[in-house]
Amino acid sequence: MKIKLNSSGINALSSVTAVLVGLLAGFIILLISNASQALFGFLAILTSGFSSLRDLGQVLYFATPLIMTGLSVGFASKTGLFNIGAAGQFIVGAYVAVFIGVRWDFLPGHSHWIIALLAAMLAGALWGTIPGLFKALFNVNEVIACIMTNYIGTYLVNFLITRTIFDSLRNQSMRVAQTAVIPKMGMDNIFKEGFITSSANSGIFIAVLFAVFIYIILEKTSFGYELKACGFNREAARYAGIDEKRSIILSMAIAGAMAGAGGALLYLGGAGRGITVVDILAQEGFLGIPVALLGLNNPLGIIFSGLLIAHLNVGGFNMQLYAFAPQVIEIIIGVIIYFSAFALLVRNFFNSLKKRPVNSAELEGNPRSLPPEEK
């Protein structure tokens, strides 16, 4: 019996294959590092995210910004653009959210964190618009423009933090006011182990709502159709009367808003986390790329791929119990993440098999496949 896969099945199979190959590579590294504990360490990667309610809460906390940056990359990809600038948009949005959370403590109640979140989205959108403008007006490759804005955004935020909201004792931004913390909705009391609570909060629900919203825009609105049409074939879209330049700018602005919201949801989560002043690009921004790839750029698929990557990160933390050095953990997580790019290769391979021309022997054995005039 032959199993026939449609395009969706091929795409899903390519992502699953990428994850399995990445896990296999991680296991090999564990064997090289410490063969006697390799199996236990590998099981920690696979199971730690579900080993306790607290660990599950940490998965939800870490998955929130990854889903948002994954949406940022995936949305742009759906419209024919590669938004590698999610790291810069993420950190710029995070700074604006934290600044409002620290300095605007006069805002009452829930309006504080809501305004901080909206301002972060606006900042991320403006930062994403920069490469969009260069692409639309001057035909500058968005990858080059995004790389530049990543570093400019990182160094600009470092400078602004030291000038405005710097905590010199921790080399981080100050902690936001309590009114700027996203409501936990009792999740800290649910996802805990003994007296140790997790960092889970309602941000995960906000991220899921954003994913559903982006899905509706792309699949159920004429606006989303125009954006995707430009991504499929810009010449045809232009011929159909769609404003190509407008679509490019709006696409990058929306992608930037998603990344900026991810920065706000992470640092307003009430975990006491601040923006560290270091010359390193935000990891959450780059993790959005494998999240989008594994989720096939589908907003709903990105929810699950974000949870998967967050689960692997929690497993990496718990793997230290088996005497693996933190550097080894970072290598393993990095290999698993970057193997997600293998999904593209696998997807193209299966698509090539699907489009394989039929030979004469197959035609002789199946008369129905012959053209009507040859039957």
Per-residue pLDDT averaged across 332-351, rounded?
67
pLDDT over 90, % of the chain: 62
pLDDT at residue 316 is higher than 90: no
Fold (CATH) for 59-318: ABC transporter involved in vitamin B12 uptake, BtuC (1.10.3470)
Instruction: Encode pLDDT of 4-21 as tens digits.
Output: 555 666 667 777 877 888
Position 348 confidence tier, pLDDT thresholds 50, 70, 90 = low
Q: How confident is the model at residue 374, as a pLDDT?
A: 47
Prediction pTM value:
0.89
pLDDT at residue 106 is higher than 80: yes
Contact 256, 125 (CB under 8 A): yes
pLDDT over 70, % of the chain: 85
Q: How many CB atoms lie within 10 A of CB 226?
A: 20
Position 370 confidence tier, pLDDT thresholds 50, 70, 90 = very low
Q: How confident is the model at residue 20, as a pLDDT?
A: 84
Q: How many CB atoms lie within 10 A of CB 33?
A: 18
Q: How confident is the model at residue 282, as a pLDDT?
A: 95
pLDDT at residue 156 is higher than 80: yes
**Token pair 């590998």 is at which residue?**
42
Token readout for 21 is 């190959």
Q: Is 287 exposed, middle or buried (0-12, 13-18, 19+ CB in 10 A)?
A: buried
**Token pair 């400078």 is at which residue?**
159
E-strand stretches of the chain: 166-167, 172-173, 192-193, 196-197
Q: What is the mean pLDDT of the chain?
A: 87
Q: How many CB atoms lie within 10 A of CB 30?
A: 25
Q: Is 186 exposed, middle or buried (0-12, 13-18, 19+ CB in 10 A)?
A: exposed
Give the C-alpha separation, 151 to 70, whole Å: 20
Q: At what angle do helices 53-78 and 222-232 cross, to 10 degrees?
A: 70
Token readout for 14 is 């390519």
Token readout for 334 is 């990095």
